[in-house]
Homo-oligomer: A and B are copies of this chain.
């Protein structure tokens, strides 16, 4: 049991640094949250085509896991945000995530430059399916393939 506690619970001094971070409230619905700044800072939108979004993201040290690789959760953040953005581009103002699935095919380390491509797969009523590819921009290797399904509450008048 101690091993599992040690794996998940963070009792050491480093933990105090997290708690010392102040998170001033943001205006809900209009401003990005600190979480989004933390997850996305440094992402660059290179090109937008109808239903597609091409971004560049250099892996920052703050998003690496205990092995020094881009954390799986940080990849999930990219799938979440870039999938959400590509649908937002398509003109549906408010969407909620309903399903997300990701295959992790390779890894990235701090400093690697990633290409993140979001695509609208299709829309069915207020429901949108998106795909997000995360690639190593230098080698072209696919790091992760994700799907993110969103539901636009307003679009369907619910």
Is there a chain B Cβ closer than 8 Å to A122's Cβ? yes
> Most chain-B CB neighbours within 10 Å: which of A7, A25, A37?
A7
A4–B105 CB distance below 8 A? no
A35–B65 CB distance below 8 A? yes
- Chain B residue with minimal CB distance to A73? B77
Q: Quick one: which of A67-95 are within 8 Å of B by CB?
A: 67-68, 71-74, 76-77, 80-82, 84-86, 88-89
B38–A38 CB distance below 8 A? yes
B28–A10 CB distance below 8 A? no
Chain A residues within 8 Å of chain B by Cβ, number: 91
Q: Quick one: which of A29-70 are within 8 Å of B by CB?
A: 29-41, 43-45, 48, 53, 55, 61-68
The distance in angstroms between the C-alpha atoms of A48 and B107, with both chains bound, is: 28
- Residues on B with C-beta less than 8 A from A10 are 32, 36-37, 40-41, 43
A sample of 26 inter-chain contacts (CB < 8 A) reads A1-B45, A4-B89, A7-B88, A8-B40, A8-B43, A17-B34, A28-B68, A29-B66, A29-B67, A30-B66, A31-B66, A33-B66, A34-B61, A36-B65, A36-B71, A72-B80, A76-B80, A76-B100, A98-B99, A99-B99, A99-B149, A100-B102, A103-B121, A104-B124, A105-B122, A129-B145
Chain A interface residues (CB < 8 Å from chain B): 1, 3-5, 7-10, 12, 14-15, 17-19, 21, 23, 25-26, 28-41, 43-45, 48, 53, 55, 61-68, 71-74, 76-77, 80-82, 84-86, 88-89, 96-107, 121-127, 129, 131, 141-142, 145, 147, 149, 151, 153, 156-158
